[in-house]
Amino acid sequence: MLAFLFCSVVPDLIKTHNVDVIETNHVVSVTRNKDGTWSVSRHISQLIFWELKSDGEFRVRDWRMLKDTARPTFDHKKKMWLCRWFDRGVAVREVLAPAHLETYTIIDPEVADRQDLPVHRRRKFGD
């Protein structure tokens, strides 16, 4: 009986979302040192969840700081990239995507995307 109760409640606690690309992004700065060498400093690491819109452009659906979640892993059964985290004590969020990329940029792509799609118009995971 306890197993039946557990199985019927747990699926409601997992909220699954699908996106087109999960990006592991590191925002960095590059500095030239006095001796001619270069230094790279990482400022933030984040996961950006991208959707391909009908106009053919990718737009940010949502994002999370990497420290708040685990790195995406490839689920061989589903043949998808998977990212999971415990979201504000409400549920486990699970995001699936067919593609993953890791980038190092000097601008924050999530912030840059706000110019084309303001945050209040995004279809965030908590909505």
Instruction: Say how far apart CA 49 and CA 19 lie, in whole Å.
Output: 6
In a domain, 121, yes or no: no
In a domain, 5, yes or no: no
Could you list the residue range(s) of the whole structural domain that residue 57 is in? 13-115
* Residue 3 resides in a domain: no
Residue 43: HSE in the Cβ half-sphere, 13 Å Cα cutoff: 9
What does the pLDDT look like over 74-116, one tens digit per residue?
999 999 999 999 887 778 899 999 999 999 999 999 999 999 9
State the Cα–Cα distance between residues 111 and 54, nearest whole angstrom.
21
Q: The tokens of 11 are what?
A: 């699926």
Q: What pairing do the DSSP bridges indicate for beta strands 21-32 and 73-75?
A: unpaired
| Cα four-point dihedral sign 35, 38, 107, 88 | negative
Residue 123 domain-assigned (yes or no):
no
pLDDT reported for residue 56: 94
β-strand pairing of 80-87 with 91-97: antiparallel
pLDDT digits (tens, 9 = 90+) for 25-49: 999 999 999 999 999 999 999 999 9
- Looking at the domain assignment, is residue 122 inside a domain? no
Domain count across the chain: 1
pTM as predicted: 0.84
Confidence of residue 4 (pLDDT cuts 50, 70, 90): very low
- DSSP letters of 29-95? EEEE-TTS-EEEEEEEEEEEEEEE-TTS-EEEEEEEEGGGSPPPEEETTTTEEEEEEEETTTEEEEE
